[in-house]
Amino acid sequence: MGPKAFPLLSTRAMTVLLCFGIPSGMPRALPPSSTAMALLSDNTTESKQEMAEPSTTQNACTTTSNDLEDLARCVQYLNTCLEDLSSRFNRCMEGTDFRDSERVFIYDWRVPAEAMENYTLGERLTCERFNISPGGYRMFLMMYPTGDATKDDAYLPYVNLFAGIARGVHDDHLLWPFVLEYHLILVDQTEDHPLDAEVAVNPRRNCMDMASTTTTSSGPSSSSIT
């Protein structure tokens, strides 16, 4: 998604903000979390251990028993296990409310000063992957602090920023294509007359513009903001 070209403010330090206004609403399915998966794994391990070492309660659940009292104890035992699993899952999902009002997500990428000092023309800097919400899209930021040397010379006087979608574990539960609007902000860290640069990115509109341009040309197209 990009590139987005910003005026070159300072090559000594860089701070980039990625801001989202996340619309409210439930996802199509409750996304699994690593905690929940670990919980499931723990329960599977516990079940295997219990099968290896049968307890007196499990002995009551044998198919050879026709005694109603034993069956009642078996059902009670299973209900207790389900209630415990539900309680533990709710605790690990506590604080994640998909029915709340519009939420805001801000990712602060502070490029290390060492990376800027040792930067060479054409080198690409990339931040770590991050999720924009619990169970949401996984993204990353990428930049050329003094311009992309592989592009036209017009890009060199600018800071080129890219926002990208990374493969995530929750992708099967998310809506595609990605159409969330976001803002890229380059924070000016100069002391005299600082001026932040900001651009709003609408993937839905950008993709439509690119498709329209592609249909009227013989080759692939790209867009940039200068």
Whichever domain contains 152, its CATH number is: 2.60.210
- 226 residues of the chain, pLDDT tens digit each: 545 555 444 444 556 666 665 444 333 333 343 343 443 444 445 545 555 555 544 554 555 556 777 788 888 887 887 776 666 555 544 544 444 435 678 888 888 777 777 777 778 888 999 998 888 899 999 988 776 666 666 656 677 888 999 999 989 988 888 888 888 888 776 667 767 778 888 887 766 565 555 444 433 333 333 3
Tell me, yes or no, whether 205 lies in a domain: yes
Rounded to two decimals, what is the model's pTM? 0.50
Does 123 share its domain with 201? yes
Between CA 216 and CA 211 the distance in angstroms is: 9
Peptide bond into 23 cis (omega under 30): no
Tell me, yes or no, whether 55 lies in a domain: yes
Peptide bond into 112 cis (omega under 30): no
Does 154 share its domain with 193? yes
Tell me, yes or no, whether 221 lies in a domain: no
The number of distinct structural domains making up the chain is: 2
Does 41 share its domain with 132? no
Does 138 share its domain with 194? yes
Does 69 share its domain with 15? no
Does 80 share its domain with 179? no
Does 75 share its domain with 163? no
Does 54 share its domain with 142? no
What's the pLDDT score for residue 85?
A: 62
Does 88 share its domain with 51? yes
Q: Is 145 helix (H, G, I), strand (E, B) or coil?
A: coil
Which is it for strands 138-144 and 130-131: parallel, antiparallel or unpaired? Answer: antiparallel
What's the pLDDT score for residue 138?
A: 93
Does 166 share its domain with 61? no
For the CA atoms of 35, 173, 3, 107, what is the dihedral angle to 10 degrees?
A: -30
Residue 170: closest CA among 196, 135, 141: 135
What's the pLDDT score for residue 197?
A: 78
Q: In sequence order, what are the residues at sequence separation of 6 or more whose Cβ sits closer than 8 angstroms to the Cβ of residue 185?
A: 16, 17, 18, 19, 196, 197, 198
Tell me, yes or no, whether 199 lies in a domain: yes
Phi, psi dihedral angles at 165 (to 5 degrees): -100, 130
What's the pLDDT score for residue 167?
A: 93
Does 58 share its domain with 166? no
Does 67 share its domain with 158? no
Q: What is the residue range of 179's domain?
A: 4-28+103-215
Long-range Cβ pairs for the range 169-173 (8 Å, 24+): 169/32, 169/34, 169/138, 170/31, 170/32, 170/131, 170/135, 170/136, 170/137, 170/138, 171/138, 173/27, 173/28, 173/29, 173/30, 173/31, 173/32, 173/135
Residue 34: closest CA among 96, 83, 81: 96
To which residue do tokens 């998966």 refer?
37
* Amino acid found at 194: P
Tokens of 154: 């017009």
Tokens of 43: 């329960």
- CA distances in angstroms from 10 to 15, 118, 121, listed in the order given: 10, 14, 15
